[in-house]
Amino acid sequence: MGDKKTVHLDFHNMMADSIGPEHGITEEELKGLEPLASQYVKELKDERIQGKLPFLDLPYNQDIVVQILETVDFIKEKFKNLVVLGIGGSALGNIAIHTALNHSFHNLLTDRERNGFPRIFIHDNIDPDGFSHLLDIIKPHETLFNFTTKSGTTVETMSQFLILIRLLRNKLGNGYKDHIITITDSERGTLRAITEREGFQSFSIPAGVGGRYSVLTPVGLFSAAMSGVDIGALLDGAAWVDKACQSDNIWENPALMGAALYFLSHAGKNKNLLIMMSYSSALRGAADWFCQLWAESLGKKFSVSKEIIHTGSTPVKAIGVTDQHSQLQLYMEGPYDKVITFWKIERFINTVPIINKEDAVESGLEYLQGHSLNDLIETEFEGTRLALTEQKRPNCTITLDELSAFTLGQLFYLFELQTAYAGKFYKVNTFDQPGVEAGKINTLALLGKKEFEQRKTEITVQLQKKKEGYRISCGN
Ligand code: PA5
């Protein structure tokens, strides 16, 4: 693995040695899980060999890197804007990459400063005001619209598609097709059918890769490459973690250890909240991405053997130092129902001195002399971690050597694998999301989709009942 960057998991403060046995995990508890953990590694390996887990092999698909880079080379300078339309797993990975690896104010840089790459807008909601505001600031003739949906039928993305297709046809006439690129299933779904009929440029999402596991497919890679991110390095980082997490020994496999620690804390110590506290603003998108991955994969009513279990721990994003002034009070003194995972970057790209040692400083602020913002964020992280540990709050730390495409790829793969292992511990189907269906069906029924007529009648009665009581207003 040579000089490549390492990702570290420090779980000392998860352990009883550090925070006591009431909230901390003992070595015996971890040892008790070893046989199961080892069996789960073997099961995942078998499933991978049988082709049931294609997301695990994505880091080795260098062909897609070549194809995407060829496309990007050809089109990037034709467009001032790239607008990505998608939702859930079809947007959160893109946002994670963009916020982590591009300049914080990418869209405000000049064309030259962006090296000729377009401005990036990732729009994952249908709030009518937000959508109108997007249309206010982008001009269709200088914009590429990237519609991403694995199913090719998602109502939010397809509604955006209908709006924008009409707009593009009206504004651009015959040339409108050059302003569209779709990323969807290779065969199934309405968007694939339209893509083939209209001859839109398109990439396919590999079969068997679900939305929240698709960041290392064209779903995440295309928009990343359109902003100059080194997508080959993203895949290399992921492959690095794959190789580093092969062992069936829990003590030698960070993804497996991470899954075991979260599971034991939840099942054995009632820690049902998983706080992901990133001491890097740039990783806020990655924290949102993780929250979807964990929540949708593990929050399940049924076990794989169809028992009702209503399981899953709730992931929550927090940002250091910002949330020290917002959430930390609760983490320090509230219920003992949380595990805090700090995300830390060893070396930031920039060093920002606060005030030089020799410069004059206001009285009361002398302690900042000779320090940088880098020292300050590091010290605040250490101070907060120590304070939480002293309060016997279980916490662990994931450290990246630096923030780069390679290390972000590492983080993605580490968490995907960890979630897959956790699914084994929780005994759930990690890769479905049946709970999301009920709300979708209600929406489609209310919108008048033919196959849900009966359901529409039922819910109209329900909604009516609710309106008749238990309402109170401020004012008239
Ligand atoms: O992880 C998932 O499968 C979901 O979050 C989907 O990504 C989300 O529902 C969007 O689906 P689609 O990509 O089919 O539009």
DSSP string, 394-463: -EEEEEEEE-SHHHHHHHHHHHHHHHHHHHHHHTS-TT--HHHHHHHHHHHHHHT-GGGHHHHHHHHHHH
Q: Which of 150, 160, 440 is the best mutation target for the ligand 1 pocket, counting ligand atoms within 8 Å of the beta carbon and taking the most? A: 150
- What average pLDDT does the structure give for the chain? 96
Residues 150 and 13 occupy one common structural domain: no
Q: What letters, b where the CB count within 10 A reaches 16 and e where it falls short, cover 457-474?
A: eebeeeeeeeeeeeeeee
pLDDT tens digits, one per residue of 147-180? 999 999 999 999 999 999 999 999 999 899 999 9
Residues 37 and 96 occupy one common structural domain: no
Ligand 1 binding pocket (C-beta < 6 A) is 87-90, 149-151, 154, 157, 210-212, 296, 433
Arithmetic mean of pLDDT, 349-365:
92
Residues 305 and 162 occupy one common structural domain: no
Residue 202 within a domain: yes
Distances (CA, A) of 386 to 324, 380, 393, 396: 13, 10, 10, 11
By mean pLDDT, which of 196-200, 215-219, 425-429, 454-458 is the weakest?
Answer: 454-458
pLDDT higher than 80, residue 237? yes
By mean pLDDT, which of 55-69, 78-92, 230-244, 348-362 is the weakest?
Answer: 348-362
pLDDT higher than 80, residue 467? no
pLDDT tens digits, one per residue of 389-401? 999 999 999 999 9
Query: Whose CA is closest to atom 15 on ligand 1?
Result: 149
Cα separation, 189 vs 186, in Å, equals 9
Cα separation, 145 vs 165, in Å, equals 10
Cα separation, 402 vs 307, in Å, equals 44
Arithmetic mean of pLDDT, 55-80:
96
Q: What integer pLDDT is reported at residue 206 of this predicted model?
A: 97
Residues 161 and 95 occupy one common structural domain: yes
Cβ atoms 198, 177 nearer than 8 A: yes
Residues 244 and 200 occupy one common structural domain: no
Arithmetic mean of pLDDT, 273-285:
98
Which residue range(s) make up the domain with 328? 7-49+236-426
Q: How confident is the model at residue 2 (pLDDT cuts 50, 70, 90)?
A: very low
Residues 252 and 224 occupy one common structural domain: no
Q: What pTM does this model have? A: 0.96
Among the atoms of ligand 1, which is closest to the Cα of residue 212?
A: 1
Cβ atoms 338, 269 nearer than 8 A: no
Among the atoms of ligand 1, which is closest to the Cα of residue 152?
A: 14
Say which DSSP state 393 is in. Answer: -
For residue 146, the CA-to-ligand 1 centroid distance in Å is: 15
**Which of these, 26, 33, 13, lies nearest to 421 by C-alpha position?**
33
Cα separation, 84 vs 87, in Å, equals 10
Region of residue 403 (left: phi > 0; alpha: psi -120 to 50; beta: else):
beta
Residues 225 and 243 occupy one common structural domain: no
Residue 476 within a domain: no
Q: What integer pLDDT is reported at residue 463 of this predicted model?
A: 81
pLDDT higher than 80, residue 468? no
Domain end residue (candidates: 231, 260, 280): 231
Residues 280 and 398 occupy one common structural domain: yes
pLDDT higher than 80, residue 4? no
- CATH code (residue 76): 3.40.50.10490
Domain end residue (candidates: 409, 426, 443): 426
For residue 289, the CA-to-ligand 1 centroid distance in Å is: 12
Cα separation, 72 vs 223, in Å, equals 9
In the chain, the number of structural domains is 2
Arithmetic mean of pLDDT, 91-117:
97
Cα separation, 9 vs 415, in Å, equals 12
Q: Which of 85, 126, 154 is the best mutation target for the ligand 1 pocket, counting ligand atoms within 8 Å of the beta carbon and taking the most? A: 154
Residues 122 and 224 occupy one common structural domain: yes
Query: Whose CA is closest to atom 2 on ligand 1?
Result: 211
Say which DSSP state 103 is in. Answer: -
Residue 136 within a domain: yes
Helix (H, G, I), strand (E, B) or coil at 391: coil
Cα separation, 131 vs 326, in Å, equals 30
Residues 282 and 137 occupy one common structural domain: no
Catalytic sites, residue numbers? 296, 325, 440
Arithmetic mean of pLDDT, 73-80:
93
Residues 258 and 156 occupy one common structural domain: no
Cα separation, 417 vs 411, in Å, equals 10
